[in-house]
Structure 1
Amino acid sequence: MAHFDDKRRQFLQFAAFGTAAAAWPGFALAEMAKMTNAPSSAFKPDVEIELTARAGAVSIKPGAATRVFQYQGKLLKGPASTLTEMPGYLGPTLNLVHGQKVRIIFYNELTEPTVAHWHGLHVPQKMDGHPMYAINRGERYVYEFEVKNPAGTNWYHAHTHEMTATQVYQGLAGLITITDEQEQKLELPSSEYDLPIVIQDRRFTSDNQLLYLQHGMQERIRGFLGDTILINGQIDRIIPVKTRAYRLRLFNGSNSRIYKLGWEDGTPLTAIGTDGALLEKPETFPYIMLAPAERVELWVDFSGREPGSDLVLHSLEYHGVMPRMGGGMRGGRGMMRDGLGQGSKFPLVKFHIAGKASESPQLPPVLSKFKRLTHRDVANPDKPIQIGLSMMHMSPELNHRSFEMLAVAEGEKIPVNTIQKIKIVQEDHAMRGRRGMGGGDGRGEGGRRGGGMGMMMSMAHPIHLHGQQFQILSRLIQDQHGSGYETVKDGFINSGWKDTVLVMPGEEVTIIKPFQDYTGLYLYHCHNLEHEDMGMMRNFLVS
């Protein structure tokens, strides 16, 4: 019966692709034959990994084990350092090298369909983890790609249609690190001095089981907020360090929580990398905003600190990211019935100075060299592609459309091997300004349109674009006075390569994004995972 169901699913996929073929320029019937997805004899991998999604149980809190979903990896070919196990429920870290050819044989042992997305990597459409390629229990999918990204920190996670939020929440996520020759020459802190810091928020029942979405539609619109912070899958994490420099790879793995990273003693933060690559040179910030899916690499030097002392990294207070919804949410901090509000101040992780080090590396003045993209590089300098963000009638949408698996609007068709200017705008906020709706103070208060559920709401959205990384050209804000924008504006890193950008209420963010090498459907969506599952996702067709 399982074999019959598999053949029936493939037949339905073939039929869907056949129907869509006329609408997809460059779509070849040969793609249908590849749906059997056997390893390619022409692809000679340097690294081969078995990766399995399965149910499990781990000890997170004292008492009963917590039921989770997990990625489990097995290295079949490649350097022994390719896989690093993480504590708790997180999947193994994949440590890759620029230029490597990688084959990942992915197995699904869950009772529900799933698919893996290699977030931030520049790979062919079939290897990107589009939800149309989700596999059922007992099936496998073979991913084959060359690592084209420069040195940086990326990640992988489930990307199943209408199930991404729940599957990631239950544990289907892991880190990807990439190194290259340019990075290796810098002699940055490595091995035990190169620390991953995965930040997630969760809720637990009295018997230690994960608790998700208790409060209905308002909670889905706001996005899930937990009352317990986990670092690398563990609670109350204390990390011992020595009096020397470290490289911290911080990753926001939460469904919707936005962190404002800052040291308890006010020490500035030195950034050396963004979502997918090193910066050109180190940059210093009083705090750093980190939205869901974003990564930042920090150079942290504990040299001047006394052994036995502690340094705590906090999420600091901020305002202006949430809408008002009948008192259930506020324009500044999101009200929580249970736990930590969006924008509250709370500790994340404690670093304990456990001992002295005899020497420490120096911070390089130059980290990487890459081309800074400008208007002169884009194919559409005067006609940017627009991505409009809206929450009309509590329906998260992009350009007033919801996700359809194979749908592509005219404005979503992109010529391959071009560089495009893209403008991301908050349409709800702009419409309030034009129509005089709502309070208009930028805090996200929802102007009513017929009352009840029919309200317009501006809130912060982390927008992620699949495919190649992009660069931020500009940020414009309509009115930052009294909006809360002044509490976050100094924490945006706008100078490096990115794949996710936080767009605040009333803000217009213009990016420049290459669409090179590969054709096909590439997603763009809000990485508030509750919004994504509600349909705040669309396709670009690159052809």
Structure 2
Amino acid sequence: MTTHHFITRRTFLGYAGTSAAALLAGLPPVEATPVTKAGDNAFEPDIALELTAQPQSVALRSGPATPVWTYQARVVKGDPASVHASPGGYLGPTLRVRRGQKLRVDFVNHTDQPSIVNWHGLHVPADMMGLPRYEVKPGEHYRYEFEVRDRAGTYWYHAMAAGHTPEQVYFGLAGLLLVTDDEEQALALPRGEYDVPLVIQDRTFGDNNHLHYLPGTGPEAAPTHGSSPQAPGMGSGVMGGSGMMGGQGMMSGNGTSDGMTGGGMMGGMMGGQGMMSGGMSGMMTRMMGFFGDTILVNGKPDATLKVATHAYRLRVLNASNARTYKLGWEDGRPLTVIATGGGLLERPVQKDYVMLTPGQRIELWADFSQDAVGTQLALMSLAFDGMSGMMESTMGEGMMGGGMMGNMMSRMMSGSSLADGARFVILKVAVTQKADEVLELPQHLSTLTRLRAEDAVNRDRPRIFRVTMGHMRWGFNGRSFQMNEVTPDEIVKLGTTEVWEFVNNMMMAHAIHLHGLQFQVLERRNSPQGVGVVEGCVDDGWEDTVLLMPNERVKLLMRFADFTGSYAYQCHMLEHAAMGLMRDYEVQPAQTPA
């Protein structure tokens, strides 16, 4: 393994040749001298960037500016077009790179919390992945150096920190990373103004246009210079005794923490001294995930996309903390999918709707050439059985009281007036001008190299990872997140292909994400029928994040190539991960020395 590039604030100021006063004032530091990787020659980047996380106030709505955290970037070496600012919102700049390029990113943390940048979807060395074990304190610096090995596609980067990831992403620390390659460049795909990213997030605005999340969080909260593997505010006083979910209410019907049935969970929430006595909204947010009541696209509320009568490539990212979207056009026209999170599909796939869970990306071919100027469209999140529907099916209509009661429970548990699974407008589209060019949809997009299940070393005995809950903590197989902890069944060998099966015994959906690689979906079992969800999952290509519905089992096929070291697997519903639903896995050399 290579050593990680951790540089203290004092060292950084020294080699950058910049005074502390200038750095803290936000003045651009001079280019840092190269850091040599242990045992290697000096790394010579094709592109070198400086990426700074810092507080800022932005005008998102009329009235006072909104305090956020945001990423600022500048090109130190290479093509200036590698960085595209995201005007008008709080999102970090879009980074554009080419497969095969060597990339150096100097991350500078000017927030008041520990943080690190996670490269979501990229195949990079373990110490370049950006996991909590590498977080740097306020004022410190971390250097990333890696070759871009991934296929052309839509990836992203976001903050990670033990206990603070949901908060930091919520308040703005996220941005897109777009990769291109020769195969993609040879296709007649929409480019330039017709290649449009759509980053979808849900937020809630409180007083004075401030973003409302959890008490004591955000850029204006008291500084947090320590680090904890728990979510903010999750101390022993809340975790222990007969708190929110005391006694057997936390357990499944048979009294084990192996799963959490509707009756067990609801008993813990609704009865005794627990859930209904104060602090319910904050606790439900931490346990179930944050659901906002305002939809933002590219960091802006009430967004409208003005288009010409032309074909567009819409790169859609769900960067919400917990909300899953059911994408569909309001007028019922089908969605044409050309790529998933790991790049282009072999051929276009048409869907009536597409499910997009947190962390997932999808690319759509949207052709407005047959729409008249003046046409108004809407990209929707269509209605589906979210929390309330799953409660009703798990616990019975008699307990929930049917549709209205179920909807009320969904809103109570999400803490939002915009319930999980509700129907709402994501983006308005206005056709405002005529375009002369006509672009035809390519029927062949890519040649995919597929893994073979018969090559898996554990084809007949997949590794099983069950989503569990116990003692107020999410977990896999009964184990919650512990920094740098890996158990024997979380160790794999370099150069092997494996099948991993994720099992969800819960009444909640989860977004399963693996760091450091892309996988292929082998099969889904026990998928909920008749709820208008699973038919919208696009499992045809490469992915790094997959939707796991209540009671569903999903088999994934993956290969551990190129790098040894410790990575992570998690739920990308960020509050779930902060509450334990994240674990490390370790890739060991094929031959381990005796």
TM score, norm. by length of structure 2: 0.78
Q: Which amino acid aligns with 2:103?
A: V
Residue 155 of structure 2: aligned partner: 154
Residue 226 of structure 2: aligned partner: none
In structure 2, what is the Cα distance between the partners aligned to 1:198 and 1:375?
34
- The gaps in structure 1 that reach 5 residues or longer are 9-35, 430-456
Residue 444 of structure 1: aligned partner: none
2:191 aligned with 1:142:
no
2:40 aligned with 1:43:
no
Q: CA RMSD in A?
A: 2.3
Of 503, 507, 516 in structure 2, the residue corresponding to residue 458 of structure 1 is 507
In structure 2, what is the Cα distance between the partners aligned to 1:354 and 1:86?
22
Q: Which amino acid aligns with 1:38?
A: V
Q: Which amino acid aligns with 2:367?
A: D
Residue 425 of structure 2: aligned partner: 347
Residue 494 of structure 1: aligned partner: 539
In structure 2, what is the Cα distance between the partners aligned to 1:266 and 1:213?
37
Residue 322 of structure 2: aligned partner: 256
Q: Which amino acid aligns with 2:377?
A: L
- The gaps in structure 2 that reach 5 residues or longer are 1-6, 11-32, 216-280, 589-594
Of 381, 387, 393 in structure 2, the residue corresponding to residue 315 of structure 1 is 381
Contact between 1:333 and 1:343, CA under 8 Å: does it hold in 2? Answer: no
| Cα drift, residue 331 of structure 1 | 8.7
Residue 78 of structure 1: aligned partner: 78
Of 322, 329, 334 in structure 1, the residue corresponding to residue 410 of structure 2 is 334
| Cα drift, residue 393 of structure 1 | 4.9
Aligned-partner SS, 2:287 = helix
Q: Which amino acid aligns with 2:475?
A: E
In structure 2, what is the Cα distance between the partners aligned to 1:292 and 1:135?
25
Residue 169 of structure 1: aligned partner: 170
Of 492, 500, 520 in structure 1, the residue corresponding to residue 565 of structure 2 is 520
Aligned-partner SS, 1:75 = strand
Of 480, 483, 504 in structure 2, the residue corresponding to residue 405 of structure 1 is 483
Q: Give matches, 1:277-296, under 5 Å.
A: 277-296=343-362
Deviates more, 1:303-312 or 1:331-340: 331-340
* CA displacement, residues 399-436 of structure 1 (integer Å, 9 cap, x when unaligned): 1100111100110000011111100111xx3xxxxxxx
In structure 2, what is the Cα distance between the partners aligned to 1:100 and 1:134?
25
Q: Give matches, 1:190-269, under 5 Å.
A: 190-213=191-214, 215-269=281-335
2:362 aligned with 1:362:
no
2:543 aligned with 1:474:
no
Residue 92 of structure 1: aligned partner: 93
Residue 417 of structure 1: aligned partner: 495
Q: Which amino acid aligns with 1:391?
A: M
In structure 1, what is the Cα distance between the partners aligned to 2:405 and 2:571?
19
In structure 2, what is the Cα distance between the partners aligned to 1:330 and 1:242?
42
Q: Which amino acid aligns with 1:282?
A: P
* CA displacement, residues 468-525 of structure 1 (integer Å, 9 cap, x when unaligned): 10000001116x35xxx53102100011100000100111000101111001100000
Residue 265 of structure 2: aligned partner: none
Q: Which amino acid aligns with 1:97?
A: R
In structure 1, what is the Cα distance between the partners aligned to 2:406 and 2:487?
34
| Cα drift, residue 168 of structure 1 | 0.2
Contact between 2:342 and 2:544, CA under 8 Å: does it hold in 1? Answer: yes
| Cα drift, residue 276 of structure 1 | 2.1
| Cα drift, residue 291 of structure 1 | 0.3
| Cα drift, residue 182 of structure 1 | 0.3
Deviates more, 1:363-372 or 1:207-216: 207-216
Residue 189 of structure 1: aligned partner: 190
| Cα drift, residue 218 of structure 1 | 1.9
TM score, norm. by length of structure 1: 0.85
Contact between 1:275 and 1:295, CA under 8 Å: does it hold in 2? Answer: yes
| Cα drift, residue 38 of structure 1 | 3.5
Contact between 1:391 and 1:458, CA under 8 Å: does it hold in 2? Answer: no
2:584 aligned with 1:539:
yes
Contact between 2:204 and 2:213, CA under 8 Å: does it hold in 1? Answer: yes
Contact between 1:321 and 1:504, CA under 8 Å: does it hold in 2? Answer: no
Change in CA separation of 1:73 and 1:297 when aligned onto 2, cut-off 3 Å? same
Residue 134 of structure 2: aligned partner: 133
Deviates more, 1:384-393 or 1:265-274: 384-393
Residue 263 of structure 2: aligned partner: none
Q: Percent identity?
A: 47
Deviates more, 1:213-222 or 1:411-420: 213-222
| Cα drift, residue 219 of structure 1 | 2.4
2:123 aligned with 1:122:
yes
Contact between 1:374 and 1:473, CA under 8 Å: does it hold in 2? Answer: no
| Cα drift, residue 285 of structure 1 | 0.2
Aligned-partner SS, 1:210 = coil
Aligned-partner SS, 2:531 = helix
Change in CA separation of 1:6 and 1:304 when aligned onto 2, cut-off 3 Å? closer
